[in-house]
Amino acid sequence: MAERPHLVVVGAGPAGLAGALAAVARGVRVTLVDAAEQAGGQIHRRPAVAPAARSRPAPRPRAGTRERLRDALDRHRATGHIAHLTDHHVWCVERSPASGEFAVHALRGPAQEEGVTVRADAVLLATGGYERVLPFPGWTLPGVVTAGGAQAMLKGQLVPPGRTVVVAGTGPLLLPVAAGLAEAGVRVAALVESAGPRALLRRAPALAWQPGKLAEGAGYAARLLRHGVRPLVRHTVVEAHGADRLEAVTVAAPGRDGRLVPGTTRRIPCDALAVGHGLLPHTDLAEALGCALSGTGVRVDTEQRTDVPGVWAAGEATGIGGADLALAEGHVAGRSIAARLHGTAPDPHAWAAAARARTRLRAFAAALDAVYAPPVDWADRLPDDTTVCRCEEVSAGQVREAAGDLGAGDARTVKLLTRAGMGWCQGRMCGPAVAGLTGCPFTPGRRPFARPVPLGVLAALPEPQPD
Ligand SMILES: Cc1cc2nc3c(=O)[nH]c(=O)nc-3n(C[C@H](O)[C@H](O)[C@H](O)COP(=O)(O)OP(=O)(O)OC[C@H]3O[C@@H](n4cnc5c(N)ncnc54)[C@H](O)[C@@H]3O)c2cc1C
């Protein structure tokens, strides 16, 4: 019997799982590699410890989809057609131009000190997204976390970030975060959303195409009302206060000119602030492979192929759009990969339903994106002494000076002059803020490695074969 071609899928969220399952069902052997301890990605995150050991129940969004994906994964793992490498952090994917074969390099375990290399005939990048962080005075105080971070604490550790929490920023993620916290017994002191209802109404025709999504949003709103949480719209956090840790936040309504409207400022006592301004695609691995981007996501064609032969991308790595879009894209990618690895041209009619869903959901995501943009003038309001890059302790004033008096005309020169983006996170946190402050377009930093790699791991790699 001919050996099955081998696909490595990086990322076991909805996109990666859908891709892996579609490919394995069509005669492909799959290795699914993920940094997390369990499959499911961000939306289906589960506690690392048995829930019985903790007091509060874990929130279970979309349990049906989650169970269906997990059951199918378990079945294929039992037959040996899918290998699932958990707690494996991929730092680089290499493609041999001569053979077209891939080497996927990962670091294993929580210490991330042991190198593992998996070889493959094709790669599906389903690495999802990460949160956009925008600074404000006090954002580095203990008690201030990202919205997704607060949710990860609750879902993954069953621990809320505080007893009285303000959820703030913009975007649909704030709703499940606030609802999850309220249902876990946390007092949600305020849900502060910078977008206004008018922005939603302006996009109503595009949004109305996805009644299921609107119902999901309404469901969260109803759950919040049951807990007495009413959204404070068209407001933004202007400062977090506290001596050693967070004690309160000040919120206010920016006017059309970006200045705060007098009389709208209010101080809300709290011991945690969960703040989010939307998501950005994870593109490091794709960029290191030489894949082109479209906007901030990996550019793909109708089969979810990147412009590098043998590399597909699906889900939020290609653009932020939600779990259903990730599932549709992953399904298309998996079917395309299977056909291509078997040396045939895929029949797009076979995935017509997924392609239609993809079109609708991309339009919906674009409409949401326009509604939930970060407040236009947030950067102008940022005082000079606010830390922007917390790894390298660079302030807003230093970034402004680099782009002003020192004449830096692009993000790279700002980085060289200030060190903003040179620290541990490599600009993932401060990149959008530096772009906002300087007016330079935000381009994901091109990094050879997706995460720090011990020298010993690099030294132990085999010599590259001559092409
Ligand atoms: C923090 C956060 C919280 C969210 N909460 C919600 C929510 O409550 N409700 C909702 O509807 N949507 C939520 N979303 C959005 C939702 O997660 C996505 O719409 C959906 O899960 C996208 O699926 P995906 O497969 O593209 O990516 P993801 O589900 O993000 O999966 C990507 C996977 O790739 C893995 N990965 C990434 N890089 C590497 C690497 N270098 N090596 C190994 N593994 C890697 C990650 O560990 C992850 O498991 C959240 C997103 C984020 C970032």
Question: Which tokens go with 79?
Answer: 């037959």
Domains identified in the chain and CATH numbers: 6-130+280-346 (3.50.50.60), 133-274 (3.50.50.60), 387-438 (no CATH)
Which ligand 1 atom is nearest residue 90's CA?
42
pLDDT grade for 52, boundaries at 50, 70 and 90? very low
Distance 253 CA to ligand 1 centre (A): 31
Question: Which tokens go with 377?
Answer: 């003038």
Distance 243 CA to ligand 1 centre (A): 34
Closest residue by Cα to atom 46, ligand 1, is 11
pLDDT at 361: 93
Distance 218 CA to ligand 1 centre (A): 23
Distance 323 CA to ligand 1 centre (A): 8
Distance 15 CA to ligand 1 centre (A): 9
DSSP structure class, residue 63: H
pLDDT at 270: 97
Spatial contact of 167 and 269, defined as CB atoms under 8 Å apart: no
Closest residue by Cα to atom 3, ligand 1, is 148
d(CA 104, CA 370): 36
Closest residue by Cα to atom 38, ligand 1, is 127
Closest residue by Cα to atom 40, ligand 1, is 90
Distance 456 CA to ligand 1 centre (A): 30
User: What does the pLDDT average to over 89-116?
Assistant: 92
Encode pLDDT of 144-167 as tens digits: 999 999 999 998 888 999 999 999
pLDDT grade for 464, boundaries at 50, 70 and 90? low
pLDDT at 291: 96
- Strand pairing class (29-33; 6-10): parallel
pLDDT at 59: 47
d(CA 300, CA 304): 5
Spatial contact of 413 and 51, defined as CB atoms under 8 Å apart: no
- Report the 10 Å Cβ neighbour count for 302: 12
pLDDT at 466: 59
Which ligand 1 atom is nearest residue 34's CA?
44
With a cut of 50, say whether residue 278 has pLDDT above it.
yes
Measured from CB, residues less than 6 Å from any atom of ligand 1 are: 10-16, 33-36, 41-43, 61, 89-90, 126-131, 148, 151-152, 173, 176, 279, 282, 285, 315-316, 322-323, 326, 450
Q: 188 to each of 49, 113, 267, 463, how far by Cα in Å?
A: 26, 40, 14, 55
Q: With CA atoms as reference, report the closest residue to 15 among 129, 126, 122.
A: 126
pLDDT grade for 327, boundaries at 50, 70 and 90? very high
pLDDT grade for 57, boundaries at 50, 70 and 90? very low
Spatial contact of 91 and 449, defined as CB atoms under 8 Å apart: yes
Distance 416 CA to ligand 1 centre (A): 31
Spatial contact of 272 and 145, defined as CB atoms under 8 Å apart: yes
DSSP reduced 3-state for 346: coil
144-146 β-sheet, strand order: 144-146, 272-277, 164-170, 187-193, 231-233
User: What does the pLDDT average to over 274-302?
Assistant: 95
Distance 128 CA to ligand 1 centre (A): 5
Which ligand 1 atom is nearest residue 131's CA?
53
Give 369-414 as a DSSP string.
Answer: HHHTPPPTTTTTTS-TTSEEETTTTEEHHHHHHHHTTT---SHHHH
Candidate from 33, 34, 42 with most ligand 1 atoms within 8 A of CB, to mutate: 42
Sign of CA dihedral 134, 140, 146, 147: negative
Q: 317 to each of 11, 126, 337, how far by Cα in Å?
A: 10, 6, 17
Question: Which tokens go with 266?
Answer: 């209010």
Encode pLDDT of 104-135 as tens digits: 999 998 888 889 999 999 999 999 999 999 99
pLDDT grade for 444, boundaries at 50, 70 and 90? low
Candidate from 45, 117, 124, 127 with most ligand 1 atoms within 8 A of CB, to mutate: 127
With a cut of 80, say whether residue 51 has pLDDT above it.
no
